[in-house]
Amino acid sequence: MDAVLSQKPWEALEHLVNAGDAGQIVIFLDQLSPTETARAISRLDAEQQTRLFGLLTPEDAADLIEDISETQAADLIEELSPQEAAAILEELDSDHVVDLLGEMDDENVTAIIDQMKPEDAEEARQFLEYPADTAGGMMISEVLSYPATLTIRELLDDLQQNRDTYADYHVQYLYVTDEQQCLYGVLRMHDLLFPLRSKKLSEVMIKNPFHVPVAANLEELGNFFAEHDLFGAPVVDAAGRLLGVVLPEAVEEARRKRSVKNYLDLSGIIGGEEFRTMPLLHRSGRRLSWLSLNIVLNIIAASVIAIYQDTLAAAITLAVFLPMVSDMSGCSGNQAVAVSMRELSLGLVRPQELLRVLGKEVSLGAINGLVLGALLGAVALLWKGNPYLGLVVGGALAVNTLVAVSLGGLLPLLLKRLKMDPALVSSPLLTTVTDMCGFFFVLSFASLVLPKLS
């Protein structure tokens, strides 16, 4: 069997990079799906990756960048010289450029922008001013706008002449602007099909088109596309000037990224994605930074056990139930956190509606606390035949479930009001409190009936 055929894609790529044949590399990468490309590139070591990008033209490198995840792409581009990086970025959509720069260190961003063409550099600096999850941060600047006095024929001539340039544009709508570049009207492609070609754009356009302000947030953009079934939202500044267009898939993508971030935060992966191709010490350090905060919280929670050490020594059976009560309550509380996070992100609840959430969670916490407490109490009773043990353990789980569920429901709202990130902070904070309370309830209840337990 041919050795080349049995190679894995990244082995073949490695081979081609070492051979230094740019033409073969482009042909080879064209055969791979974007997922395969991303995987193959991620398996090269840093030096080979840099060599690969040095071999490719900026256009080919930009095509490659579009296939891989932003985190991967930003890491790669940071390894290149600012000149090489700038040349590649100039081949990408404006919103993609900003997303990539947003993942890099500030000094690298400045160095790269300094190497871009003046007008591209100016645009990149301006776009970086807009927060990522706003219309400004999500829009593309590749948009066609024409003066209202133009005729349809003149517009069609322009389209015809610049066909190659516009091929990369997301041309869905043609915008009409006045002398101050203020948004004045919109035309759909098929609005140009039927009228006389001598008509002026002002005669055929739709006036005062729907638009969004540059500061519109993700919720407002989601609402825009839910209300208007359009292929793009023109973005205007405070003076009404047309700045760019937000595409509906950019809004969906931003919403997806937010939910991925929630997932990663909840799992203790902070500061963005981690890939196993990143350097070991970098990965280890990032994970440790979150874990070492957690170890402090754990020590605080476990100190409750230290205080009640004598009670525990007198009724050692309780040690079996301590982690069960705290773990179970933590799980119940995290369910409530997740429901609040989702309701917040869907706009079904406002951060100030604490009482409403509390009411809903207290009743649920009471029911689930009773059920789970009865279950665990029964287990304890059956195991040791001691009804007091069952009461202590079951009672503690019941009360702690109520505490955990109520607190879990409220925490995301409270953190949001305090301008903290609920996805990141809710779960560690909740676990600490439910651990402490769980240990406290079991051991303090036990101390009340200690003679009956031992």
Residues 228-287 that bind its own copies (CB under 8 A): 229, 231, 248-249, 252-253, 255-256, 259-260, 262-264, 266-269, 273-277, 280-281, 283-284, 287
Asked if residues 242 and 258 have their Cβ atoms less than 8 Å apart, the reply is no
**Cβ atoms within 10 Å, residue 372:** 20
Q: Which stretch binds its own copies (CB under 8 A): 9-17, 98-106, 238-246, 356-364?
A: 356-364
Instruction: Give the Cα separation of 286 and 224 in Å (integer).
Output: 38
Among 56, 201, 243, 305, binds its own copies (CB under 8 A): 305
Among 98, 349, 399, 446, binds its own copies (CB under 8 A): 349
SS3 348: coil
Binding positions for its own copies, 78-117, rule CB under 8 A = none
- The nearest distance, CB 104 to its own copies, in angstroms, is 20
Among 78, 79, 158, 343, binds its own copies (CB under 8 A): 343
Residue number, 20 or 323, with CB nearest to its own copies:
323
Q: Which stretch binds its own copies (CB under 8 A): 13-21, 83-91, 99-107, 313-321?
A: 313-321
- The nearest distance, CB 448 to its own copies, in angstroms, is 19
Among 182, 346, 418, 448, binds its own copies (CB under 8 A): 346
* Angstrom distances, CA of residue 269 to CA of 261, 273, 440: 9, 7, 30
- The nearest distance, CB 396 to its own copies, in angstroms, is 14
**Residue 162, Ramachandran bin (φ over 0: left; ψ between -120 and 50: alpha; else beta):** alpha
Which residues have a Cβ under 8 Å from the Cβ of 329 and sit 6 or more positions away? Answer: 397, 400, 401, 403, 404, 434, 437, 438
- The nearest distance, CB 339 to its own copies, in angstroms, is 5
Query: 85: closest CA among 60, 106, 111?
Result: 111
Q: Which stretch binds its own copies (CB under 8 A): 21-29, 44-52, 113-121, 214-222?
A: 214-222
Q: Which stretch binds its own copies (CB under 8 A): 49-57, 109-117, 130-138, 341-349?
A: 341-349
Instruction: Give the Cα separation of 409 and 427 in Å (integer).
Output: 11
Binding positions for its own copies, 379-408, rule CB under 8 A = 379
Task: Enumerate the β-bridge partners of residue 418.
Answer: none
Pairing mode, if any, of strands 183-188 and 173-177?
antiparallel
Residue number, 181 or 294, with CB nearest to its own copies:
294
- The nearest distance, CB 20 to its own copies, in angstroms, is 26
Asked if residues 388 and 451 have their Cβ atoms less than 8 Å apart, the reply is no
Instruction: Give the Cα separation of 105 and 74 in Å (integer).
Output: 10
Binding positions for its own copies, 37-76, rule CB under 8 A = 38-39, 42, 66-67, 69
**Residue 426, Ramachandran bin (φ over 0: left; ψ between -120 and 50: alpha; else beta):** alpha
- The nearest distance, CB 328 to its own copies, in angstroms, is 6
Binding positions for its own copies, 145-164, rule CB under 8 A = 156, 159-160
When asked if residue 434 is in the footprint of its own copies (CB under 8 A), the reply is no
Instruction: Characterize 256-287 residue by residue with b for buried, 16 or more Cβ atoms within 10 angstroms of its Cβ, and e for exposed.
Output: ebeeebbebbbebbbeeeeeebbeeeeeeebe
Among 115, 181, 202, 223, binds its own copies (CB under 8 A): 223
When asked if residue 7 is in the footprint of its own copies (CB under 8 A), the reply is no
SS3 341: helix
- The nearest distance, CB 33 to its own copies, in angstroms, is 4
Q: What are phi and psi of 26, to 5 degrees?
A: -60, -45
Counting every residue, how long is the chain? 454
- The nearest distance, CB 118 to its own copies, in angstroms, is 27
Asked if residues 120 and 129 have their Cβ atoms less than 8 Å apart, the reply is no
Residue number, 83 or 309, with CB nearest to its own copies:
309
Please name the amino acid found at residue 292: S
Among 108, 181, 294, 444, binds its own copies (CB under 8 A): 294
- The nearest distance, CB 223 to its own copies, in angstroms, is 4
Which residues have a Cβ under 8 Å from the Cβ of 104 and sit 6 or more positions away? Answer: 74, 77, 78, 112
Instruction: Give the Cα separation of 149 and 362 in Å (integer).
Output: 65
Number of residues that bind its own copies (CB under 8 A): 112
Binding positions for its own copies, 171-210, rule CB under 8 A = 171-172, 189-190, 192-194
Binding positions for its own copies, 316-335, rule CB under 8 A = 316-317, 319-324, 326-328, 331-332, 334-335
When asked if residue 309 is in the footprint of its own copies (CB under 8 A), the reply is yes
Task: Enumerate the β-bridge partners of residue 186.
Answer: 175, 206
- The nearest distance, CB 317 to its own copies, in angstroms, is 7
Which letter does DSSP use for residue 150 in this model?
-
